[in-house]
Amino acid sequence: MTGRHDPYVRLLRWYPKAWRDANGAVWVDTLREQSEAEGWSRPSRGEAVAAVVNGLGTRLDARAAAQLALGGIAVRAAVEVTMQIASPGGISVQDPALNGLVWIFLSAFAIPVFGGLVALSRSYGVLSPRRALAVLAAGAVGICLFAAAMWASAYGFQLADDNPALARVASAAIPLGAAALAIGATAGWLVVDGMLSRTRLRRLPRAALSLVAGVVLAGLAGYATMMTLGWVTVGVTVVGLSMRSLGGWSSVEPRVVVRSRLSLVRTLAGISAAISMLGIGYAVTAPAWSPLAENPTTAVVHAILVLLVGALPLVVALGLLAPRPRLHVWGPVALVLVAMAATFYGYTDAPLSTRIDSSVPIGSLALGLSLAWWVTARLATSRGDRLMAGIAITLACVVWHLAALLPVAVFVLPLVAGVLAVRGTLARREPIQAVRTAPVTDR
Amino acid sequence: MATPLTPSAFWILTVLASGRRHGYDILSQTRTASDGRVSLKVATLYAALDRLETDGAIRADGDEIVDGRARRYYVLTDAGASRLEYEATAMAHAAKAAQRHLATRPALLTLAPVIR
């Protein structure tokens, strides 16, 4: 290889660094030899185009998949926060301009997540570099057209009554939607055809299957764009699978707990089970006898508060069982407790719900950080990749309003706590070995 | 049943069946062996080599500097040889079937000049 102004070396820059480091010198010298044999002093146009397409396609690897999906989730979280600040009560459907803009935002975050999905498929060998690039381009155009169709529909139809000129905007929704479906189906067809090309299916059934599946996939992509959390869920899945490709989980130590600690776990779980049974009993019977429970809704709210308190010993018990370094267990556990405290605060004035508006985002952030800490401490990837996964998980939990599930989740508490109190473990296949003197697994 | 080979993968495995070769050698040999029907670009060749290597059909067999140029050699693995053999047998069966049917074809076309 010679200098960076060398036309052959310049083409190599389209490939990712890891690929260049592994194959660059051989690739450049082969390209030079090929061009010289054909009497050229520089790469032919065909070679240059092939290098650009394959280089960009090769860039769509597991790391790119995680980065793109994370970028999409970050955009979605930013939109969520902006919307909350700009319109605390939610965007009014009576405001056509804002309502239309939502679709632009939704597509802006769906495209990078879709890119992550394509990159992940490429890294799994489902798509060749060229095909991956074509799928990405077609899918991105399809999502943009879908967003334009939804915008035209949301903006145009609502204002058409007042301003007939806007009826044209509204009527553009149908051709735009049809174009989105056609181009999206092309992307889907390319994906399915790429998968079926590895089978010995005959050409005609393969084309028919690819076409039908392509239309279905395009429809699903459109549905995911309309669903608030559709692409966020896809994004988190892409980040998770990419991390698995990049390094997976670090090895798990055997579960060994000293006998005295196992007794403590069972005791804490028993306390939790008792309190939570009390809470559920209150929810069911309180309207009949309690002066505090004016109606069944109030009784349930009170029960949630009792159940949240009852969950505290269980969370501590689960922390005692975790076979990991102390910091990476109790850090996440402390954050779960913060989320529970926030939820408790939010429900103290329920069912008025004035405090829930602030308690849910805070609780979701705490749960997200807890989950991110727990997961990233156990990933066997580089620090940068772990940071990426942590940010993705945290943002996704905030966007998902995960803490809003806590008041529902506490109702399964008696079951979980009861099992732990009786068995001393929730593990199915690898029961905890209780030993008398062995050092505790926490490091 | 083995995964079907793309035309470029088929010709790459074919030229590697006769021995260890480097990138440019594979390019020129695939063109010659396929009577010019397969003319790979360098970027396409390396994408195909990457994929075949991942699939275990070929493996890299050392880098060398020859006349100041970096060359990486590739060899066919046993798995690659099996896939090529399977594909070649399937193609031979298909070709035989086509020839058999052609042989039984009514002689309309051959008689055409006589009729005219």
Chain A interface disruption, residue of B30, B41, B71, B93, most A CBs within 10 A: B41
A441 band by pLDDT with thresholds 50, 70 and 90: very low
Q: What does the alpha-carbon distance between residue B14 and residue B8 come to, in Å, rounded to a whole number?
A: 10
A440 band by pLDDT with thresholds 50, 70 and 90: very low
pLDDT digits (tens, 9 = 90+) for A330-364: 899 999 999 999 999 888 876 666 777 788 889 99
What does pLDDT average to over chain A?
84
C-alpha dihedral, B103 to B107 to B111 to B112, nearest 10°: -100
Q: What one-character DSSP code corresponds to residue A254?
A: P
Residue B70: give the domain boundaries. Answer: 7-115
E strands, A131-172, in order: none
- Beta strand B69-76 with B58-66: parallel, antiparallel or unpaired? antiparallel
pLDDT for res A357: 77
Complex confidence, ipTM: 0.85
Give the number of beta-carbon pairs within 8 Å between A and B: 68
- For residue A125, the chain B residues in CB contact (below 8 A) are 51, 54-55
For chain A, the structural domain boundaries read 7-55, 62-229+242-246, 256-435
pLDDT digits (tens, 9 = 90+) for A13-50: 999 998 999 999 999 999 999 999 888 888 999 999 99
- For residue A28, the chain B residues in CB contact (below 8 A) are 70
A442 band by pLDDT with thresholds 50, 70 and 90: very low
Is residue B2 in a domain?
no
* Nearest CA-CA distance, residue B109 and chain A, Å: 29
Q: What does the alpha-carbon distance between residue A331 and residue A93 come to, in Å, rounded to a whole number?
A: 42
Give the least confident one: A46-60, A148-162, B94-108.
A148-162
Give the least confident one: A129-143, A214-228, A308-322, B102-116.
B102-116
Q: What does the alpha-carbon distance between residue A292 and residue A85 come to, in Å, rounded to a whole number?
A: 36
Strand partners, B60: B74
More confidently predicted of A69 and A255: A69
Phi-psi region of A324 (alpha: psi -120 to 50; beta: other; left: phi over 0): beta
Q: Mean pLDDT, to the nearest integer, of A305-326?
A: 85
- For residue A130, the chain B residues in CB contact (below 8 A) are 47
Q: What does the alpha-carbon distance between residue A176 and residue A178 come to, in Å, rounded to a whole number?
A: 5
pLDDT at A242 over 50: yes
B13 band by pLDDT with thresholds 50, 70 and 90: very high
Domain with residue B19: its CATH number is 1.10.10.10
Find out whether A61 and A123 touch, Cβ atoms under 8 Å: yes
Is residue B75 in a domain?
yes
pLDDT at A403 over 50: yes
* Nearest CA-CA distance, residue B104 and chain A, Å: 25
Chain B interface disruption, residue of A26, A59, A131, A197, most B CBs within 10 A: A26
What is the percentage of chain A residues whose pLDDT exceeds 90?
34
B111 band by pLDDT with thresholds 50, 70 and 90: low
Q: Mean pLDDT, to the nearest integer, of A310-324?
A: 85
Q: Which candidate, A369, A377, A298, places its Cα nearest to that of A339?
A: A369
Inter-chain touch A51–B42, beta carbons under 8 Å: yes
pLDDT at A160 over 90: no
Inter-chain touch B70–A1, beta carbons under 8 Å: yes
- Residue of A51, A198, A200 lying closest to B43 (CB–CB): A51
- Residue of A27, A32, A200 lying closest to B1 (CB–CB): A200
* Nearest CA-CA distance, residue A18 and chain B, Å: 13
Residues 179-198 of A with CB under 8 A from B: 197-198
pLDDT for res B1: 54
Nearest CA in chain B to A20: B46
- pLDDT winner (highest mean) among A24-38, A234-248, A413-427: A24-38
- Residue of B4, B43, B72 lying closest to A50 (CB–CB): B43
φ, ψ at B18 (rounded to 5°): -90, 0
pLDDT for res A439: 47
Q: What does the alpha-carbon distance between residue A97 and residue A83 come to, in Å, rounded to a whole number?
A: 14
- Residue of B44, B51, B70 lying closest to A25 (CB–CB): B70
- pLDDT winner (highest mean) among A92-101, A156-165, A416-425: A416-425
Asked if A57 reaches chain B (Cβ–Cβ under 8 Å), the answer is yes
Q: At what angle do helices A383-400 and A230-246 cross, to 10 degrees?
A: 160
Q: Mean pLDDT, to the nearest integer, of B63-84?
A: 93
Q: How many domains, in total, are found in chain B?
A: 1
Inter-chain touch B4–A51, beta carbons under 8 Å: no
pLDDT for res B18: 92
Q: How is A164-185 classified by DSSP, letter by letter? A: GGGHHHHHTHHHHHHHHHHHHH
Q: Mean pLDDT, to the nearest integer, of B84-105?
A: 92
- Residue of B3, B24, B27 lying closest to A198 (CB–CB): B3
Find out whether A120 and A62 touch, Cβ atoms under 8 Å: yes
Residue type for position B14:
T
- For residue A10, the chain B residues in CB contact (below 8 A) are none
Is residue B1 in a domain?
no
Inter-chain touch A125–B54, beta carbons under 8 Å: yes
Q: Mean pLDDT, to the nearest integer, of A237-248?
A: 84
Q: Mean pLDDT, to the nearest integer, of A176-197?
A: 92
pLDDT at A282 over 80: yes
Find out whether A389 and A239 touch, Cβ atoms under 8 Å: yes
CB burial of residue B1 (10 Å; 0-12, 13-18, 19+): exposed
Give the least confident one: A37-51, A313-327, A428-442.
A428-442
* Nearest CA-CA distance, residue B86 and chain A, Å: 13
Q: Mean pLDDT, to the nearest integer, of A170-177?
A: 87
- Residue of B1, B4, B23 lying closest to A30 (CB–CB): B23
* Nearest CA-CA distance, residue A116 and chain B, Å: 20
pLDDT at A265 over 80: yes
- For residue A199, the chain B residues in CB contact (below 8 A) are 3-4
